[in-house]
Amino acid sequence: MSRLHDLFDHESQSPWLDNIRRGWIASGELERWVARGVRGLTSNPSIFQKAIQGSAEYDQQFTEAIGSGLDVEASYWELVTSDISAALDILRRVYDQSEGLDGYVSVEVDPGLARDSEGTEASARELDERLAAPNLYIKIPATAEGLAPIQQMISEKRSINVTLIFSLERYAAVMEAYVAGLEAAPGDLSDISSVASFFISRVDVEIDRRLDEIGTQEALALKGKAAVANGKLAYELFQQTFTGPRWEALVVRGARVQRPLWASTSTKNPDYPDTLYVDELIGPDTVNTLPDDTLEAFEHHGTVARTVDEGVQEAHAVIDALAGLGIHMDEVTENLEDEGVAAFEKSFDELLAALGEKAAGLACDP
């Protein structure tokens, strides 16, 4: 048994893979990850940009799609949904064996719709119906404009991965959208699933930069602490939300908690342990989605122990100390949300531009 198996068996945390490549599907590598203990898979526009632009594995299908009369964007979605469909088939066994707890594969709506409620809702519904798999998660960004579509999709019994959550305030709003969506859904709720992707390492990147600018001993002592503290407070909020009479009324109807999913958990600062954002956020009813190199590192030397609800008072103290230095989490996380949306949109646009150039080249070929 691997550390990844131990993570789930002993601490009830599900390790997922935050990457997808067509070569992994064809070679059996993704199946080997599942055998090693991976229980789900997440993707995003940046991941697909790297996969599609980084290899020739998609050229034949893209050429066929363009040749059939599809435009560049429609051809892109053909490439993406082909990979997602294949991954859904591979992970289906995990879904069935876990009775719908794990085995999910996530695909994100067009990132250009992050500030468009109506467009997001329509895109999420179309993707869900196009792929039509019980272990599919549609990813919707947790922007203010994304909250209504999230609630609507849950009320329609569509399973959702809410992504790009940075702040506790927005996280609370996401959980409210989930609960309200369940309340509006008809009948039995046991086939509805959702995770809330709370981003971790980017918080340290931004706050460490600000602490370096302050440069005092007090400021530098806080480096590398904000992201884990923010995650621990998110878990505290999760525990508070999914309890009490309102939630219990939904449990009677078969409702599942919306698990926190720790995202952006590779370590960006080489001075920090490479498993920092795994080791410090382990606990029940959670998911951690990890790039393959971080999964390998955790398999080699990670620590399997419940940590997510340890040191919660210290986590509050870290956030308070940052505020005392003029670093306010609400302002930091708002900036990070804007940057996250822009980064995914940039990846999407750059990939479409590259595919457009390739399509133009095909049109010029004799």
Residues taking part in catalysis: 139
Tokens of 147: 């909250």
Q: Which of 304, 334, 308 is nearest to 202 (CA)?
A: 334
Contacts of 357 (CB under 8 A, 6+ apart): none
CA distance 73 to 352: 7
Q: How far apart are the first and last CA of the chain?
A: 55
Tokens of 309: 């609800």
Contact status, residue 15 vs residue 275, Cβ threshold 8 Å: no
Contact status, residue 43 vs residue 84, Cβ threshold 8 Å: yes
CA distance 34 to 36: 5
How many C-beta atoms lie closer than 10 Å to residue 303's C-beta?
Answer: 13
Among left, alpha and beta (phi > 0; psi -120 to 50; other), residue 293 is alpha
Give start and end residues of each alpha helix (H) in 194-244: 201-214, 217-220, 226-241
Three-state DSSP class for residue 197: strand
